[in-house]
Amino acid sequence: MLRYFTAGESHGEALVAFISGLPAGLKVNQAFLDRDLWRRQQGYGRGGRMKIERDTAHILSGVRQAQTIGSPVAILLENKDWKNWQESLPVAEGDPAKHKRVGSPRPGHADLAGALKYNFPEARYVLERASARESAARVAIGALAKLFLRELGIEVASHVIGVGGVLISEKEIPWEQIHRLGEKQEILLNCADEEVEQRMKEEVDKVLKTGDSVGGVFEVVAHNVPPGLGTYAQWDERLDALLAGAVMSLQAVKAVEIGTGIVAAGSPGSSVHDEIGYGAATGFTRTRNNAGGIEGGVSNGQDIRVRGYLKPISTLRRPLQSVDFATRESVKAAYERSDVCVVPAAGVGAEAMVALTLARCALEKFGGDSMTETLRNFQGYCQQLKNY
């Protein structure tokens, strides 16, 4: 079973990501990992932190001679901003006067709920771990999951559906168009429609001028996924449930949709369900993909499409009303250096979570301690599907 977790704080010395369960013999491309980390840092509306950090994956263990060796992989991402925070966030006892308090919780952030849960007098330590900076560590190990999926012919990419009130009109953007976006050397808002992207940029400019922030919608597409990942047999093994939980776990994501789930809820079944056909050359076919590639908790062979609905960033340059932790008096919420729009970056984080989930399900189905064994099992299954 694929297991993974992360450690580290936003302004700490580093982030660390761990993943175990990858078969031995998986080729690891350092440039591929660093490219995904770079993509996470791009996008119109990002804040000053992106000018400081230039994330690269420093692999500590589990990879030798550019291949996995079957043991856990640990990856370190250095926080270059750490030099400005060493006295404020020391590991050993330090000078309390140099501690940078977050004295008033930000509405929409984990500040207040986290301080209450862990009995903190203010929200600095809540902010440090709840920050979306943590998602960089997920992107690093997610890139390893992508490399594994590529060996099975599966690709994962994302694009932006909407920013603020600007939404792309097409119901389903073709895979080829989405895939090309991931190869661009300059990322604005990662929208497949250039005209709509310009209007999205105007939405960001609007909130930038007013000291506000803006959310949006991204879509992750997994291409060439074979039927049979996940199962309807148990509630916690359903692929749609696993994907929804994985994407929802990203900071600021407040809703997840598989296929056209939201529209489907208000539509008749005849216009929702994807009719089935069959051809001698093509096998089973579908007229559309409203199901988003998953039926009954199981992948059905079509592109898997998962949308994440991202709330606006909760740190505002024009802060909302809050309460001082110490005095309980009404004050403005704390301000911490932040972004205005992170929808494209959230899409990259969601790619990682989708890839990790699909890799886990693939390994549960095909097994294998080495890539040779995994691929042999996978190819046998593919042959079974052809002979069905």
Q: What is the pTM of this model?
A: 0.96
- Per-residue pLDDT of 81-115, as tens digits, reads 899 999 999 999 999 999 999 999 999 999 999 99
Res 117: pLDDT: 98
| Percentage of residues of the chain with pLDDT beyond 90 | 91
- Per-residue pLDDT of 119-166, as tens digits, reads 999 999 999 999 999 999 999 999 999 999 999 999 999 999 999 999
Q: Which residues contact 188 (CB under 8 A, 6 or more apart)?
A: 43, 44, 197, 201
Residue 146 belongs to domain spanning: 3-387
Res 336: pLDDT: 85
Confidence of residue 53 (pLDDT cuts 50, 70, 90): low
Give me the mean pLDDT over the 259-269 stretch: 95
Q: Residue 355 pLDDT more than 70?
A: yes
Res 86: pLDDT: 94
Per the structure, how many domains does the chain have?
1
- Per-residue pLDDT of 223-246, as tens digits, reads 999 999 999 999 999 999 999 999
Tokens for 147? Answer: 């490399």
Confidence of residue 337 (pLDDT cuts 50, 70, 90): confident
Give me the mean pLDDT over the 260-279 stretch: 95
Residue 149 sits in a domain whose CATH number is: 3.60.150.10
